[in-house]
Amino acid sequence: MHVLRLRLLAAGTLAAVAFLLYSSTLLPGQDLGDTASFQSIAGERLLTPRQGYPLYFAVIGLFVHGLPVEAARATNLASAVAAAVAVGLVVLVGAELGGTLVAGLVAGLLLAGSYTFWSQAIIAEVYALHLLIVGACLLALIGWYRRPSLWRLGLFFAVYALGFGNHLSMVLLLPGFALFLLIAAPGGPREMVRLRVVLLALGLASIFTLQYWWNFSSLLDEPGHPGYGELLGNFWFDVTKSDWRANMVYGIPESTLWDRFAMYWFDLRQQFGVPGALAALVGAAWLLWKRWRMGVMLLALWLTSWLFAFTYNVGDTHVFYMSSHLVVALAAGCGAGWVVLAIRDTAAPRRPVAWQKVLSAGTAWLVTAVVVAYPAWRAFDTYPAMDRSGDRESTRFLDQQLTAGMDGGREILGADMNWQLHNGLDYYAKYTRPDLVVFNLPDTLLYFPFLVATNAALGRQIVLTEGAATMVRDLYGHLFSLDLDPRLPVESLSQRVATLPPGTRYVLAVIEAYPESPIDPTALSAATRQLGLRPDDLPTGRYAAVVGRVGERPVARLSGTTPFRARTDLEGQLVDVRIECWLPADTIRRAGFGHVIVNDRHVLTLDRGVSFVAFGPNGAATLRAWDPGLYAPQPRFIVRPGHGQSHGWGAPP
């Protein structure tokens, strides 16, 4: 009982520390992409099959309705709480697997400070809750293994089935869990196929399937809906996203296999470093030797999760490695625990005298301090890169670059943009600018002339984003005049950096751009000339950066074909440039493709393309700019009925 209380105390303490880390680096408001979509849907009574995740939306809905803060912040905070609880559970699981509290502490600290997990713990995303449920499944399964009983087995079945309401990737854990049940059952594998066990599993699975009634019921609310058979087919299609699953899973070209292995090695080092990876190998070997059933389970869990992520043909592969990261953290904890126990036993003679006992205990405590200090140091080192507490860039962009100057009572905005921006605009229009009417241009394109005429009769004019204006021009030619909106001047990167006085400190980073948004070499050259750089001062490569002062030769020229991290002393200011992506595979990085940190303060999140930051003597950013990229300025157009050339749009065809 004393050991259990100690483990619970350690788990609770580390969970509290993790929450302090995540809450202090929490994204304060809205984001773009999937996060913005979750933030927008949270708290709604209606949930469609396509939106999925009923358990996740129920949890974040409680935070949205229960906390007196902005909806976006409430959903972000829900992730921080879930992540902290997940860390506490990993401490308990690690201590059980390794047979010592050291194993649990190292595993919990490694997971808590791992780059990808931390990045998902401070935004609205499903992965923190997913790892919480995985940890709970492992704890319930180990509890059943220690003291087998039908109700403990039922508890595991219930937690596992509940997890499907958060993310369907729970199915990837089935081989590992099923294998463990078969090899660990006290009566042999046949015990798991007895009628009462099968009925218990099926019954609990059926009960927790009802989570998705929330999604299914929205189909029943549609007037004139088809029969139940077709409804179930539509429901399954949308919930499992069958339209992309066949192409996105197990769909990578064979020519990219070696690059994928290199990508995983980079990702593993990004999470745990080389010592952490080596400790995981030691821990896995120790488990397979000493506690082979648990070792086999962890190996199977890692393999299925890793294989899915390895073959996942979508640009956010890194988040799907997270389940395997949890296994690696547990194995590393077991490795560290074995090292501590081995050194303690080696240092202790068979018949020790008093001073030998003290020496043995001191040696054990020293080794414990070293193995615990390593993941703690990694968390300290990762902190500045994960600090999004001052990141309101998405709201600033929507305020100053997309909707600036618009009158919600007299204008409506038609949008067609990158999906990440579009999701951000949905949240922004719902919560930040509820006065502004926004519509999706592709949905209205066929009756767009009627929409323009109707709003003109009501005294309202339509304003279009650049992509929406392109679609209107392509379909309707010069039926409408599309005038550049003078209220939204679009400054080039060279125009923006031209405002900086000589001697201003800066970092200019260039990361291989998206194929659909290439870097304009002429515009980049103009910007570098304004900074006082010569043509050969900007290095080439997939990743490149220049650190210096305006009007002077650069202090550092950085480049590489693989991700790198480089520190530069810029007149007493420590500039840390971190490339945190693997190209060309990464197309979505919710924590950014890299970071610039000055004196341990986060000043810039890198995007694909050109990213720029200028900062003052105190290290605070004075100018941030991207071109191209999600936050690159884009023009806006006012729709005016009538024939003729569009002012600012170019000559007619």
- Helix/strand/coil for 479: coil
480 part of a folded domain? yes
Q: Say how many Å lie between the first and final Cα of the chain, rounded.
A: 82
Instruction: Give me the mean pLDDT over the 123-138 stretch.
Output: 97
Please state, in angstroms and rounded to a whole number, the distance separating the CA atoms of residues 598 and 158. 48
Let me know whether 114 and 45 are in one domain.
yes
Quick one: average pLDDT of 628-636? 92
Q: Give 478's strand partners.
A: none
What's the Rg (C-alpha) of the chain?
A: 28
**Given a cut of 70, is residue 648 above it in pLDDT?**
no
Sequence-ordered list of residues with C-beta below 8 angstroms from that of 211, at least 6 positions apart, any chain = 54, 55, 162, 164, 165
Position 15 pLDDT exceeds 70: yes
Is there a single domain that holds both residue 73 and residue 158? yes
Note whether 342 and 436 are same-domain residues.
Answer: no
Q: Read out DSSP for 511-579?
A: E---TTS---HHHHHHHHHHTT--TTTS--SSEEEEEEETTS--SEEEEESS--EEEEEETTEEEEEEE
Mean pLDDT of the chain: 91
Instruction: Determine how many CB atoms are found less than 10 A away from the CB of residue 503.
Output: 10
Task: Single out the residue in 489, 515, 547 at which a domain terminates.
Answer: 489
Residue 498 inside a domain? The answer is yes
Q: Mark whether 399 and 374 lie in a shared domain.
A: no
pLDDT of amino acid 312: 82
pLDDT in tens, 212-267: 999 888 887 777 677 777 778 877 877 877 655 555 555 667 777 899 999 999 99
Q: How far apart are CA 319 and CA 119, in angstroms?
A: 10
Residue 313, domain member (yes or no)? yes
Q: For residue range 306-357, what is the model confidence (pLDDT) as tens digits?
A: 999 998 877 788 999 999 999 999 999 999 999 888 877 665 556 565 655 5
**Do 29 and 172 lie in a common domain?**
yes
Q: How many CB atoms lie within 10 A of CB 101?
A: 22
Contact status, residue 202 vs residue 160, Cβ threshold 8 Å:
no
Of 442, 461, 489, the residue that ends a domain is 489
Which are the contacts of 115, defined by CB distance < 8 A and separation ≥ 6? 270, 271, 382, 385, 386, 580, 591
Indicate whether 520 belongs to any domain.
yes
pLDDT at 14: 97
Residue 3 lies in a domain: no
Q: Are residues 378 and 481 in the same domain?
A: no
Q: What pLDDT does 265 receive?
A: 97
Nearest to 75 by CA among 54, 55, 90, 60: 60
Same-domain pairing of 25 and 131: yes
Residues 508 and 549 in one domain: yes
Helices 354-386 and 322-347 pack at an angle, to 10 degrees, of: 160
Q: Please tell me the total count of domains within the chain.
A: 3
Let me know if residue 238 belongs to a domain.
no
Q: Same domain, yes or no, for 203 and 215?
A: yes
Determine the Cα–Cα distance for residues 186 and 632; give it in Å rounded to an integer.
62
Give me the domain span that covers residue 56. Answer: 9-232+270-386
